[in-house]
Amino acid sequence: MKIIPPIHPMFKTLSLLLFSIVLLGACSETQEIIYDPASVTLTILNDSSKAQAAAEVRMYDDIDAYMNSKNNGIYEGYAAKASTDTSGKVSFKELNTDKEYYFLVEYRDRARYVDLNNYEQTFKFTKGLSQGSNTFAQIQLKQAKSVIGFFIPAGMEANLPVKLYLDDDTVGIDMTSVANGAVTQPNQAGVLNFKFSAGLTKWHAKSPKGCYWGGEINVGTTESFAPISLNACYAGSVNFYVDAANKDNLPIKITLDNADVLGNINKYTDTTPACFDYYSVSAARDTGTYTYTAESLKNSCVWQGKVKITQGGCQTILLPKCN
């Protein structure tokens, strides 16, 4: 390997050795940098090879946590997280030269309705470089392959236009037309298609006529298409969450009226989340009073009570500490 003389006493630029290998269970490209830097500066490029600002970069120092996130879309186990600047760059410093580091990158392009990521590549830094050096490298993103098609069926025209919100989105995407007939493929008229990265995505939608929809999507890692119909007009929402007092009781399953399973609370938060937030379990339902049951899937903790859903409201419930 050729070592380029440093132009600054505190930094060295290393040439990169890139090669492809076949990983067990899937064919993918691995880019491996032979030496482990004390710091690293990455430039993230989008699928058009342009610098991507506001991309989220997660760094892992544990191979099992990295593979769990990559293969199952699990958003945990990372050692550090940062976002790229306007030039597409992000830096991680004070790295341990005895460890290997893996990087996952994601960016949600709401203008094009597509998630970009590097899930098809394994990008890592291996051991060996002395402290005080900095390495520069690039990561190229590709479009996600799993397509979710949101649509409003014929007969619901009176609710148009509808605003669709994904995860923590506060702007929304306009849905202005209905889809006629059964939706079986993404190129049908009236279907708003979004390519999602693997993992859990929360969504909700609002109509100026007072209708609410919402739910969560657990997207897989393979290429697929799944339609979601906004076919029922609900009047309000309910929102369940836990704080650190119940972190050891997670996950917690939420059910309304003994049969309507809303999903599992998998994370805790010490701030009150909005409806359909990443940390909560939410649902849009008709107005009325419902009985809820929250059941820990880890131990014998059970919570029960009643919640009243009101027109246009978001009723938020913090589950108390289970003793």
Q: How far apart are CA 205 and CA 275, in angstroms?
A: 11
Mean pLDDT of all residues in 293-304? 96
The mean pLDDT value of the chain amounts to 86
Predicted confidence (pLDDT) per residue in 166-213, tens digit? 988 888 999 999 999 999 999 899 999 999 999 889 899 999 878 889
Q: Is the pLDDT of residue 14 over 80?
A: no
Predicted confidence (pLDDT) per residue in 114-129, tens digit? 999 999 888 887 665 4
Predicted confidence (pLDDT) per residue in 72-116, tens digit? 888 889 999 999 999 999 999 888 878 889 999 999 999 999 999
Residue with the larger pLDDT of the pair 18 and 298 = 298
What percentage of the chain reaches a pLDDT higher than 70? 87
Beta partners for residue 153, in sequence order: 179
Q: Which of 26-35, 144-153, 257-266, 296-305 has the lowest mean pLDDT?
A: 26-35
Q: How far apart are CA 205 and CA 114, in angstroms?
A: 18
Identify the structural domains of the chain with CATH numbers, from first to last.
3-142 (2.60.40.10), 146-229 (2.60.40), 237-318 (2.60.40)
Predicted confidence (pLDDT) per residue in 44-55, tens digit? 999 999 999 999
Q: Cα dist. 82→100, 104, 122, 171 in Å?
A: 18, 11, 18, 23
